[in-house]
Chain A
Amino acid sequence: MKFIAVALMLMSAGVTAVQLAAMFAGTLAPWTIGLGWLVGAAAAVVSWRALPDDIKWERPGLLGWFVLACACLFVLRTSLWLAWEQGMDLRVGSPKNIGDFSLHFTHVAFLERVPPFWPLNPIAGADPLTYPPGMALWTVMLDRIGFSLFGAFAFGSLLGLGLGLAACWRWGGAFAVAVLMCNGGLAGWAVLKGGVWVDFQDGQVWKSIPHAMLATQRGLLYALPAGLWLLVRWREVFVRGRGAWSWIDCWIYATLPLFHVHTFLALSLLLGTWFIAGLPRRALLGYVGAAFPVAGFLLWRVTNGFAVGGDLRWDPRWLGEGGGVGKSLLLSFGAWLLVLPAVAAWIGWRWWRRREPVAREIGAFLWPGCGLLVVCALVVFQPWAWDNTKLMLWGWLLAAPMVWHGWLAAAPRWGRAPLLLGLFFSGWVSLFGGLLVSRQGHGIANRLELDDARMAVRQLPVTMPVAAAPDYNHVLLLAGQPLVLGYDGHLWSHGINYRDRMVQLEALMSGGSDWREYADKLGADYLFWGNKEARRFSGSAMGWRDQPVVHHGPAGTLYRIR
């Protein structure tokens, strides 16, 4: 437990220091990275001394070892085969990571070019960055101390997921780890029909958490261990009333917006619910009040002064994704649809009728967790409805592990086996099915084109967005150069208002007689024409064709158009 907090302090204090120093210096200069390591190391040492000695860890039984072994296999496989170069290809291990890894790689490649700070958004070159930069900064920090670029990604993943598993074990033992790694309903039972073993849950909205979230959302590599560690601490302090919160608890909570805003919001909702429910209000107020300055500043910064936000709407059918909600729920959650409400009601009855302290403790997490799941099933918070699952993850991690404490732990051993099978088999099949399909990797870029793009961008200022095809794996993005606009799926889901600019970009790339007007409107001094552009704007008149060529190579041609 102690090592989890120390590692989190190293990461969060280091990254925050880099960010503040870079903001002070106006650029992500090398010394800011060095300072980040110094501050992070100091925070780690101080927190190691400040934290009490660890209590003894629960020793796993046979089933616990099995769950841990499966989880470790996933972590090693996903992290060490995250991305690699293969012949002419740059490949990613997971098919779900094609777009996400491209975006994260873009952020890191951009920061590696030492941009002014606070940086521009590389996928919306005229805007400030409105995406939590914590993990990208951490990756740059790792890269600067000797990890290779891919190695920094891989190590970040190994460390984050390893800490996440340890924190999850602390949160709810083997059952909680199974909840995290083997979430699922009925979809995976299809494996018994024979045929190819795949991630059968992939077609559902509520996908396998490891494959859909842990492998793809790098912010969770901090937020998952941090969130689970906070839950363990809050259980002790606010629910059980043992001891007081410390500055370490406060700091880890306050820096969450720098890594994963959804986790910060979900955990803040939990604190709010407790406040309303009457848990020690004075302590809660003090805690949130102490975290507010840092958390508020970071939230303000990563949302560009709260300029990007959600898109709140009532949509009880989103979980069905156009199909039947009931069928989707059954395939996604299966037995949990019965078990969770039943245990929530049973715990409620135990608290209401018998006033059992244990029921209160379980209910403090189970009821808000169930509530968050229900709300997320009915209300969509973000432009892309699937982003709701980032909040649902925390509803799930709050509620599902309580099934063990509230019911299964007391059930006879012979009765547990079929129940555990019913709850986790489908998710377990998905966990390994997802690994089986990922062995050869999936190409995201041609290395020759990428290396050519790296040569091209050496001639450009890092602050100069280039007009090019808006694609998630554009080689200029992967080479660290901002584009006027990147992939519209990312722009949309990040809540960026881009539609007018997209129209202008398409007009510019179409190269009609008025292209200069659109170049002026977009502030684009450079235009890139490569394979993606030729495909996407195949009918382009290329009116800027006679403009000076800055670079020409296998990736394409870079024109100076203003």
Chain B
Amino acid sequence: MKNRTFHTWAIAILLVAAGFRIWALGLKPVHFDEGINGWFVDQMTLTGAFRYNPANFHGPLLFYILFAAQTLFGRAVEVLRMPGVLAGLAVVALAIHGYRRHLGNPAALVYGAFLAVSPAMVFVSRYAIHEIWMLLFCMMTAFGVLEIWARRLQTGCWWLWLGAAGMVLMKETYVIHLAAFLLAWPTWLLFRRWLAPDETPAHAAAPRPTARAFLSATAYPALTAGLLIAFFYSGNLFHLEDLKGLWTTFAVWTETGKSGSGHEKVWYYWFGLMARYEWAAMAGLVAAARLCFRSPASLRWLVISGVGAAMAYLIIPYKTPWCIIMVSWPLPLALAMALVEASARGWRVVAVAGAALVLAHGVWASWRLNFINYDAADEPYVYVQTNRQITRFTDPLLAAAKRDPRLLHAPGAIVVDNAYPLPWVLGEFTRTGYYHVDLPVEARLMDFLLVQQSRRAEVEAMLQDRWIVRELRLRDAFQPVAAYFRASVFGPELVGEARREFGRQGEPTR
């Protein structure tokens, strides 16, 4: 394939990937986890650093990335999600431009195209959560190893160490992937001895680097990685004691991984997701088995490590759907290799038809999932997702604050068991209280309230004056809630809606 043709296709694939990831980025309501991540970002602004808590949530880097985005571009769901979109595009770009040195141009393009339209990749890239970054850093680490294998020592060491540092800084599950990378090494040695020898790559003729050369190339990258990890985990060096969280977290994490978190699933959960959404990964499972037997050494190692990590995810009972991208990412690569090989062996029509089928399914499934059913409870990828009805509560508030910025300081109360993502969405409202159990005694003085259905009578007994009441659901798993807006304050945003008089008997009025 000519260089020009390759770049044209590469740009086209990246444009498609960008379209899927950027189009209507704010369509999906802010997810529960996004609300928590955003809340942490708000805390960073106030306290000056992110304090790592090994018992709760993940590594610090994502919060710094989101903090930078929110600081520069303001509070908006598109702003919170855009860094993830860029990470998602970087994944596709790395697959095409980085991995092509090892896969060859056609396979890299096909692999990039699979990732560009994968429903999971698109769905997770459009979230402000850790996984897409984790994948990017994981692929960087693997790419670093491939580069070192190809005798590009200096470049490879930087990719390897910065990728590994990024994984450590992102999420505790880095240990699964680093272990898979390491254990793939002896497994590969056993495979080449007992199953079949490696195919010979072009760079095999180049001299093997000496240990001294390797140490020299790895010194600066390793030092940089270590400093970055120490810097971020210690709250910008302000809290050096937090560094011990780097290992104490595993005591907590192993418990979470086993049971009791509410996220336990059957071992074959991932296969169900792949069968429904990720056909490239599903077909890639078969192709991966083929690559384990016959491929250049580096790719063989990569596939073994990917299968190893996937097996770990199968065993761990804690399963959330966004981890599918970490489970499946090398599998489309294996399929791409297999299709290109089939094409080279004269099965061109079959290969093209296969690729087209998988891509068409990816486009269709991505479109349905990301732009139509993005909050539908019957889509397995839609998980702990806030219902689109949340805007029935937040839109009038945000519109009113735009009309009159003083309303950012209107008193309000949120009386629901689990309020996220509201603390971030309403983060600019300075006098909003969150009450889990007790009703605020001053509820009648509030200008807006959000109350669980079961407590409406209690609240309404405390109210006076005219209010506009809306019913909605925050999440499908929760009971409905009622939003109360004081008519004298939010009337202009809720024209035409019935007003209810509280504090004395009366019928709804217009």
Q: How far is the CB of A64 from chain B (nearest CB, A)?
A: 12
| A455 touches which of B49, B227, B236, B404 (Cβ 8 Å) | B404
Q: How far is the CB of A368 from chain B (nearest CB, A)?
A: 38
- A440 adjacent to B48 (CB under 8 Å): yes
Once A87-B430, A455-B405 are accepted as A-B contacts, the answer to whether A151 and B238 lie under 8 Å apart by CB is no
- A154 adjacent to B72 (CB under 8 Å): yes
- B45 adjacent to A84 (CB under 8 Å): yes
A interface residues, how many (CB within 8 angstroms): 28
Comparing A98-106, A445-453, A516-524, the segment that makes contact with chain B is A445-453
Once A80-B67, A439-B47 are accepted as A-B contacts, the answer to whether A148 and B406 lie under 8 Å apart by CB is no
The chain A residue with its CB closest to the CB of B49 is A439
Extra A-B contacts (17), CB below 8 Å, given A439-B238, A440-B47, A455-B404? A73-B236, A77-B236, A80-B67, A81-B45, A84-B71, A86-B46, A148-B74, A150-B74, A151-B73, A151-B74, A154-B71, A439-B47, A440-B46, A447-B408, A447-B430, A448-B409, A553-B406
- B406 adjacent to A448 (CB under 8 Å): yes
| A452 touches which of B46, B73, B238, B406 (Cβ 8 Å) | B406
Of the A-B pairs whose beta carbons lie under 8 Å apart in the complex, a sample of 24, sorted by A's number, is: A81-B48, A84-B45, A85-B428, A86-B45, A87-B430, A88-B430, A146-B73, A147-B72, A147-B74, A148-B72, A148-B74, A150-B71, A151-B72, A151-B73, A151-B74, A154-B72, A155-B72, A440-B46, A448-B430, A451-B405, A451-B408, A451-B409, A455-B404, A554-B406
Asked whether any CB of chain A lies closer than 8 Å to the CB of B11, the reply is no
The chain B residue with its CB closest to the CB of A150 is B71
Most buried by A among B73, B406, B430: B406
- A148 adjacent to B45 (CB under 8 Å): no
A76 to B68 Cα, complex, angstroms:
10
A/B pair count, beta carbons within 8 Å? 59
Asked whether any CB of chain B lies closer than 8 Å to the CB of A454, the reply is yes
Residues on the A chain within 8 Å of B408, using CB: 447, 451
A454 to B407 Cα, complex, angstroms:
12
A88 to B404 Cα, complex, angstroms:
16
Q: How far is the CB of A505 from chain B (nearest CB, A)?
A: 28
Residues on the B chain within 8 Å of A147, using CB: 72-74
Q: How far is the CB of A115 from chain B (nearest CB, A)?
A: 21
Residues on the B chain within 8 Å of A73, using CB: 236
Q: How far is the CB of A485 from chain B (nearest CB, A)?
A: 26
B interface residues, how many (CB within 8 angstroms): 22
Q: How far is the CB of B94 from chain A (nearest CB, A)?
A: 24
A81 to B47 Cα, complex, angstroms:
10
* Mask: chain A, 134-162; 1 = CB below 8 Å from B; 0 = not: 00000000000011101100110000000
Q: How far is the CB of B489 from chain A (nearest CB, A)?
A: 14
A454 to B68 Cα, complex, angstroms:
27
* Mask: chain B, 53-69; 1 = CB below 8 Å from A; 0 = not: 00000000000000110
A438 to B430 Cα, complex, angstroms:
23
- B73 adjacent to A148 (CB under 8 Å): yes
Residues on the B chain within 8 Å of A85, using CB: 428
A452 to B406 Cα, complex, angstroms:
6
Residues on the A chain within 8 Å of B46, using CB: 84, 86, 440
- B72 adjacent to A447 (CB under 8 Å): no
Once A146-B73, A147-B73, A151-B74 are accepted as A-B contacts, the answer to whether A80 and B406 lie under 8 Å apart by CB is no
The chain A residue with its CB closest to the CB of B403 is A455
A455 to B227 Cα, complex, angstroms:
48
A88 to B429 Cα, complex, angstroms:
9
* Mask: chain A, 49-86; 1 = CB below 8 Å from B; 0 = not: 00000000000000000000100010001001100111
Residues on the B chain within 8 Å of A150, using CB: 71, 74
A150 to B45 Cα, complex, angstroms:
12
Residues on the A chain within 8 Å of B48, using CB: 81, 438-440
Q: How far is the CB of A169 from chain B (nearest CB, A)?
A: 18
Once A86-B46, A440-B48 are accepted as A-B contacts, the answer to whether A447 and B409 lie under 8 Å apart by CB is yes
A147 to B68 Cα, complex, angstroms:
12
- A80 adjacent to B405 (CB under 8 Å): no
- List 5 tightest A-B contacts by C-beta distance, closest first: A148-B74, A439-B48, A451-B405, A151-B72, A448-B409
Residues on the B chain within 8 Å of A88, using CB: 409, 430
The chain A residue with its CB closest to the CB of B231 is A73
Q: How far is the CB of B226 from chain A (nearest CB, A)?
A: 13
